[in-house]
Homo-oligomer: A and B are copies of this chain.
Amino acid sequence: MLEELGIKAKAASRLLAKLGQNEKNNALLKVADALVAHADEIITENSKDMEYAKNKGMSEALLDRLKLSKKRLEGIAEGVREVVALDDPIGEVLSMKKRPNGLMIGQKRVPMGVIGFIYESRPNVTVDGFALTFKTGNAIILRGGSDCINSNIALVKVIKEVLKNEGITEDAINLIENTDREIARQFMKLNKYVDLLIPRGGAGLIRTVVENATIPVIETGTGNCHIFIDSSADLDKAIPIIKNAKLQRLGVCNACESLVIHKDIADKAIPLIVDMLSANDCEIRGDEASVSISSYIKPATKEDFGTEYLAKIISAKVVGSLDEAIEHINKYSTGHSEAIITESYENAQRFLDEIDSACVYVNASTRFTDGFEFGFGAELGISTQKLHARGPMGLLALTSTKYIIYGNGQVRV
């Protein structure tokens, strides 16, 4: 079954690589329209998933990820239209240089081929993933979580219908409908047909993929994101940024999970932070120094500093210096997004240089780590590895290159 899907996707990828930009864009626009036109059917199927998930006792944060509404489908369709509006990177020759022997060597941007996608209960990812891979001339094989299988079947059905009507191969999008874990493991070893595997979900899923896949993987991000309140921080900026980063949306990887506070500003900053977070029912688990400043703060265990809560909980630590802050963050961070709140030019630059994360902010919320917010039109995930793509992944992450060389009889000496 998987092998068959692989063969179909590989064959589709050869056809997709030859499609022109106009053909791809027209199809995507029709997909966007069809998602809205078929909203009722899709929401009906999504309701089954929601019902099942609620009965299973899924958390509020995860239910929120799973839910589709008319408004959300319109948002998803709008995302597809934004992808249409982007330039197609395929075919661009990045550079073409003449070597001393007369060879002309250029690097041409080409599709990756077949992209595998393993994710959890976020049906919007199904459409985002398709739009970006299709725009870049790739075929996609999707393996969504069992929690959103009805939503995914409905979404893929709508997309396949559009492709069929447009005279484009339906095999551009492929869904593994069997949500058995063993099937997922086999999928991760389908090197013969799949060029790139992108897992998107919780830490457990990502670890499973990294440990089992033989296909090249882009590790996408669990986010244990930090905000460091430097001694020179402007607290009028700091408090709204912390509020936004922790509370605007709980179940997302770019939410702030840990505060690091310079000791020289702790007495002033912590009471304000506690006021704001307690007013929003957000628990704080801190080190001794922070607990001594506010009794609202509960003592943190060692594990707290490494935890991505995805809930109304945040950890807090007081540090003696910027160096200590950088060391603490580089130790506990998952390399996703970190921010410094500071008015110091030097500390801002040092934080940007020395924090080893995909996205490093000065005086802004970590919640901006997102393909849309970065202007990519959509996003396939946030890469927390250093290979190929790091940070929010848009179109370019889904392309490869090849060298094209024009000669006139050259041989190597």
B412:A373 contact, CB within 8 angstroms:
yes
Q: Which residues of B contact A403 (CB under 8 A)?
A: 358-360, 369, 374, 390-392
Q: Which residues of B contact A248 (CB under 8 A)?
A: 411-412
Q: Which residues of B contact A174 (CB under 8 A)?
A: none
Q: Contacts A374-B403, A404-B352; is A363 near B409 (CB within 8 Å)?
A: yes
Q: Per-position contact with B for A21-39: 1 when CB-CB < 8 Å, else 0?
A: 0000000000000000000
* Assembly CA distance A218 to B385 (angstroms): 13
Q: Per-position contact with B for A104-130: 1 when CB-CB < 8 Å, else 0?
A: 010110001100000000000000000
Q: Per-position contact with B for A361-393: 1 when CB-CB < 8 Å, else 0?
A: 111110111000111000000000111101110
Q: Give the residues from 292 to 334 in chain A that come closer than 8 angstroms, CB to CB, to chain B.
A: none
Counted per complex, copies of this chain come to 2
B388:A388 contact, CB within 8 angstroms:
yes
Report if A146 contacts B (CB, 8 A). Answer: no
Report if A276 contacts B (CB, 8 A). Answer: no
A241:B409 contact, CB within 8 angstroms:
yes
Report if A16 contacts B (CB, 8 A). Answer: no
Q: Which residues of B contact A409 (CB under 8 A)?
A: 234, 236-237, 240-241, 363-364
Q: Give the residues from 48 to 100 in chain A that come closer than 8 angstroms, CB to CB, to chain B.
A: 97, 99
A367:B412 contact, CB within 8 angstroms:
yes
Q: Which residues of B contact A387 (CB under 8 A)?
A: 112, 195-196, 216, 218, 387-388, 400
Category for how many chain A residues contact B: 35 or more
* Assembly CA distance A364 to B234 (angstroms): 62
B402:A357 contact, CB within 8 angstroms:
yes
18 contacts between A and B (CB under 8 A): A99-B375, A103-B364, A105-B375, A195-B385, A196-B387, A241-B409, A244-B412, A359-B402, A359-B405, A361-B407, A362-B406, A363-B410, A364-B410, A365-B410, A367-B412, A387-B387, A387-B400, A391-B402
Q: A99-B374, A360-B405 are in contact. List 14 more A-B contacts (CB 8 A).
A: A99-B373, A103-B364, A105-B375, A112-B387, A210-B214, A216-B385, A358-B402, A359-B402, A360-B403, A363-B409, A364-B407, A364-B410, A368-B410, A390-B401
